[in-house]
């Protein structure tokens, strides 16, 4: 299409050539009318094709987004679990937007038109040797400006991108912690920090824009000078009867058309550089986190969990937080994981849930490693309640059902009753259809934790992992938690509870003690608690509050 458009772009030059060399000397009005009709028809075709091309580019950008957005979003969800993120973690979505925006702009049309410049140069040489030399010199000069734009805008564009990510991260942190800023009065100091980060971003962005704008202006002025220069050369050739007036005018128009793609490319070079950098980052992301697929669906686990010598590091770090952890649980068992702060308890359960990948060892359900299930299949067999409870903007029913389309009401009600939250929900103004707002802001901390517990129990998963499930619960909530854990065990599931408060251990029969990233003890609850709280008659406070639990 670009080839046809560039051939049709010769219409103006040849129309001028025919008018000056044929119509005016011959004083033929019918010829002029015929040429005008013919040129007008070609211009209409050119306009239609350029309109179609621009719309095609928009659709190509949309198609690219539609093809990649699902993969990019899936990778965005898994990326924080594989590496340490810089910025707000949303760079990949902005990269996809940047690529789509560039593909839908006029920038690619310049790249498509560049290969057709030799056609215009060849015609200029056919007009006259010196006209061709002048056009070639203009192309070389503007190409040099394009290379200069590439060299000078690459680093400022990369730096501006990283500073934009830092600015967005600070803004998001401010939004999340607005209550702390207001209560303790250091919002102005954070605002000063944001102003400094924003100023750095604006300065770097201005530098990149100034470079691109300066080069674009130089290119425009040079093109105008060259166009006038080729008119002067054409006039000189006409005076010496080496060319006609038509060639003089046509070569000026031809020169303008030959240089237009380079000028347009220089004007859009900053966008091209940022889109290219964004595409490189997207490619690296999708290579790092390819889509996973399994050809065989395994049956739901029903009998055992085994942890085999796993060692765990946080994403993007080399520090080992869990070392050589091994144990096995049968169905109907309730395990409490206890230990001092930073002993590796939460890291261990993240690896058991398949959230973090162990650097060594394996986790198995009924003998199968976790990666033999797809994430969706594995998720249906696992219930997980993290320390930091996060809900999504939607109704309580949607959050409990894990946003399953057309989730059965009986499954939602069963999960709510198992978590002891049904009575709480039906007393809300809109019951299960109550919208909870972003991050569950419409609910109290205790209510969010109980709704998240119901979400963990939805669908009767075989493995239920609760990390500090009673941190925000009152006495009624803790009683409901105890009943929920008993229910998991009674139906043949496995419950794992990370606990600091001894009340969370009431419904469990096994205890695992962590310290310094290693398992210190594992076995029946009473036996283990007696060992760690009464060695040689002297209480050893390995775990805060366990003396009370043992008593």
pLDDT beyond 50 at 543:
no
Short-list 4, 17, 3, 240, CA closest to 124:
17
Give the span between the Cα atoms of 175 and 179, in whole angstroms.
9
Give the count of domains, the chain: 2
In a domain, 1, yes or no: yes
pLDDT tens string 483-520: 899 999 999 999 999 987 666 788 898 999 999 999 99
In 205-243, which positions are buried (b, 16+ CB within 10 angstroms) versus exposed (e)? bebbeebbeebbebbeebbeebbebbeebbeebeeeeeb
Q: Clarify whether residues 357 and 262 are in a common domain.
A: no
- Say which DSSP state 535 is in: G
Give the lowest-confidence range in 72-86, 331-345, 351-365: 72-86
Q: Clarify whether residues 282 and 311 are in a common domain.
A: no
Residue 40, pLDDT score: 92
Residue 37, pLDDT score: 94
Question: Both ends of the chain: CA-CA distance in Å?
Answer: 84
pLDDT beyond 50 at 426:
yes
Q: Clarify whether residues 187 and 330 are in a common domain.
A: no
Q: Clarify whether residues 161 and 221 are in a common domain.
A: yes
Phi and psi at residue 296, to the nearest 5°: -125, 130
Q: Report residue 231 CA to chain centroid gap.
A: 52
Q: Which residues pair with 307 in a beta bridge?
A: 327, 363
The CATH number of the domain holding residue 135 is 1.20.1560.10
- Say which DSSP state 20 is in: I
Residue 544, pLDDT score: 44
pLDDT beyond 60 at 87:
no
Residue 364's contacts (CB-CB under 8 Å, 6 or more residues apart) are: 304, 305, 306, 308, 370
Which of 288, 317, 333 marks a domain boundary? 288
pLDDT beyond 70 at 193:
yes
Confidence category of residue 547, pLDDT binned at 50, 70, 90: very low
Residue 292, pLDDT score: 64
Residue 537, pLDDT score: 43
pLDDT beyond 70 at 94:
yes
Phi and psi at residue 332, to the nearest 5°: 85, 5
In a domain, 548, yes or no: no
Q: Clarify whether residues 281 and 213 are in a common domain.
A: yes
Confidence category of residue 477, pLDDT binned at 50, 70, 90: confident
Residue 428, pLDDT score: 86
In a domain, 40, yes or no: yes
Residue 322, pLDDT score: 93
In a domain, 68, yes or no: yes
| Token pair recorded at residue 328 | 């096995």
Residue 85, pLDDT score: 60
Residue 53's contacts (CB-CB under 8 Å, 6 or more residues apart) are: 1, 2, 5, 109
pLDDT tens string 446-476: 888 889 999 999 999 999 999 988 877 777 8
Mean pLDDT (whole number) for 42-71: 89
Phi and psi at residue 368, to the nearest 5°: -100, 135
- Say which DSSP state 313 is in: -
pLDDT beyond 80 at 76:
no
Average per-residue pLDDT for the chain = 83
Mean pLDDT (whole number) for 138-167: 80
Residue 84, pLDDT score: 65
- Say which DSSP state 395 is in: B
Confidence category of residue 183, pLDDT binned at 50, 70, 90: confident
Give the span between the Cα atoms of 431 and 285, in whole angstroms.
42
Give the lowest-confidence range in 216-225, 358-367, 413-422: 216-225
Short-list 496, 493, 512, 459, CA closest to 332:
493
In a domain, 293, yes or no: no
- Say which DSSP state 343 is in: S
- Which structural domain, as residue segments, surrounds residue 267? 1-288
Q: Clarify whether residues 361 and 415 are in a common domain.
A: yes
Give the span between the Cα atoms of 229 and 218, in whole angstroms.
16
Confidence category of residue 349, pLDDT binned at 50, 70, 90: very high
Q: Clarify whether residues 268 and 366 are in a common domain.
A: no
Residue 291, pLDDT score: 66
Give the span between the Cα atoms of 414 and 459, in whole angstroms.
8
Q: Clarify whether residues 140 and 77 are in a common domain.
A: yes
Q: Clarify whether residues 265 and 345 are in a common domain.
A: no
Q: Clarify whether residues 245 and 199 are in a common domain.
A: yes
> Using alpha carbons only, what angle is made at residue 505 by residues 503 and 510, rounded to the nearest 5 degrees?
170
| Token pair recorded at residue 70 | 């699902």
Which of 262, 288, 314 marks a domain boundary? 288
Mean pLDDT (whole number) for 84-94: 69
Give the span between the Cα atoms of 517 and 233, in whole angstroms.
82
Give the span between the Cα atoms of 440 and 428, in whole angstroms.
14
In a domain, 295, yes or no: no
pLDDT beyond 70 at 371:
yes
Q: Clarify whether residues 284 and 310 are in a common domain.
A: no
Q: Clarify whether residues 238 and 385 are in a common domain.
A: no
In a domain, 297, yes or no: no
Token pair 């009401």 in the structure block, residue: 409
| Token pair recorded at residue 260 | 């237009």
Q: Which residues pair with 515 in a beta bridge?
A: 518
In a domain, 354, yes or no: yes
The CATH number of the domain holding residue 416 is 3.40.50.300
């Amino acid at each position: 299409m670009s080839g046809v458009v560039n051939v049709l772009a010769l219409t103006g030059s040849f129309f001028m050539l025919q008018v000056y060399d044929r119509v005016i000397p011959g004083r033929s009005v019918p010829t002029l009318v015929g040429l005008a009709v013919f040129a007008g028809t070609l211009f209409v075709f050119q306009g239609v094709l350029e309109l179609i091309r621009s719309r095609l580019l928009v659709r190509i950008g949309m198609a690219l987004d539609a093809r990649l957005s699902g993969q990019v979003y899936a990778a965005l969800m898994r990326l924080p679990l594989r590496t340490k993120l810089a910025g707000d973690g949303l760079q990949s979505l902005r990269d996809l937007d940047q690529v789509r925006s560039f593909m839908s702009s006029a920038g690619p049309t310049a790249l498509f038109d560049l290969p057709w410049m030799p056609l215009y140069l060849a015609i200029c040489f056919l007009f006259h040797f010196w006209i061709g030399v002048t056009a070639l010199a203009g192309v070389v000069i503007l190409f040099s400006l394009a290379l200069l734009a590439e060299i000078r805008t690459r680093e400022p564009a990369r730096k501006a991108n990283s500073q934009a990510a830092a600015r967005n991260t600070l803004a998001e942190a401010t939004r999340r912690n607005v209550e702390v800023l207001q209560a303790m009065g250091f919002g102005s100091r954070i605002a000063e920090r944001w102003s400094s980060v924003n100023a750095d971003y604006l300065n770097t962005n201005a530098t990149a824009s100034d470079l691109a704008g300066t080069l674009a202006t130089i290119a425009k002025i040079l093109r105008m000078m060259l166009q006038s220069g080729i008119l002067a050369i054409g006039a000189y050739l006409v005076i010496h009867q080496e060319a006609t007036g038509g060639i003089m005018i046509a070569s000026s128009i031809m020169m303008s058309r030959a240089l237009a793609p380079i000028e347009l490319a220089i004007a859009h070079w900053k966008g091209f550089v940022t889109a290219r950098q964004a595409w490189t980052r997207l490619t690296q992301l999708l290579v790092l986190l390819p889509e996973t697929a399994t050809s065989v669906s395994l049956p739901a686990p029903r009998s055992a969990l085994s942890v085999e010598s796993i060692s765990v590091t946080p994403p993007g770090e080399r520090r080992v937080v869990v070392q050589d952890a091994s144990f096995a649980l049968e169905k109907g068992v309730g395990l409490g994981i206890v230990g001092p702060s930073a002993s590796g308890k939460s890291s261990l359960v993240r690896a058991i849930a398949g959230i973090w990948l162990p650097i060594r060892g394996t986790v198995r359900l009924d003998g199968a490693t976790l990666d033999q299930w797809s994430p969706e299949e594995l998720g249906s067999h696992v219930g997980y309640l993290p320390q930091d409870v996060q809900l999504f903007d939607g109704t309580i029913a949607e959050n409990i059902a894990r946003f399953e389309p057309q989730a059965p009401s009986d499954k939602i009600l069963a999960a709510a009753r198992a978590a002891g939250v049904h009575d709480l929900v039906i007393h809300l103004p809109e019951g299960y259809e109550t919208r909870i707002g972003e991050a569950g802001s419409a609910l109290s901390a205790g209510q969010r934790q109980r709704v998240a517990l119901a979400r963990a129990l939805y669908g009767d998963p075989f493995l239920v992992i609760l990390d500090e499930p009673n941190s925000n619960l009152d006495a009624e909530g803790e009683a409901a938690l105890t009943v929920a854990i008993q229910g998991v065990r009674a139906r043949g599931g496995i419950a794992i509870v990370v606990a600091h408060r001894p009340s969370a251990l009431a419904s469990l029969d096994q205890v695992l003690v962590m310290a310094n990233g290693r398992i210190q003890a594992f076995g029946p609850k009473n036996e283990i608690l007696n060992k760690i709280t009464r060695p040689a008659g002297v209480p050893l406070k390995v775990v805060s509050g366990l003396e009370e639990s043992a008593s």
